[in-house]
Amino acid sequence: MLMEFHGVNGQLELYADKIIIKRKGVLSKLTQGFTKGDKTIYIKQISGIDFKLGGNVVNGFIQFTLPGGNEKKGGAFQATQDENTVMFKKKDNDFAI
């Protein structure tokens, strides 16, 4: 593992060839459901990344787009429900970049 990032609604592990999004914690379960497990996305599958810094009112997020994917397009509010998104607080902006 090259890096690990703990967000509001999940954890992101970065490897040389893939990322793994893990859903541990109460907020993760509430936004993603109790049946979702870890999600592995290979770097070569990623066709885009949407990134927004956290603010005083709204959390930031990093969202991975995959070909044929069904990611939410409604900004930060819908990103909370997207399985390819990890949200983070303003205090974590520097690490998320």
Q: Cα–Cα distance between 65 and 2 in angstroms, integer?
A: 21
| Boundaries of every domain in the chain | 3-96
| pLDDT tens track, the chain, 97 positions | 999 999 988 899 999 999 999 987 655 555 555 556 789 999 999 999 999 999 999 899 999 999 876 655 655 556 667 889 999 999 999 988 8
Q: Cα–Cα distance between 96 and 30 in angstroms, integer?
A: 23
Q: What is the pTM of this model?
A: 0.78
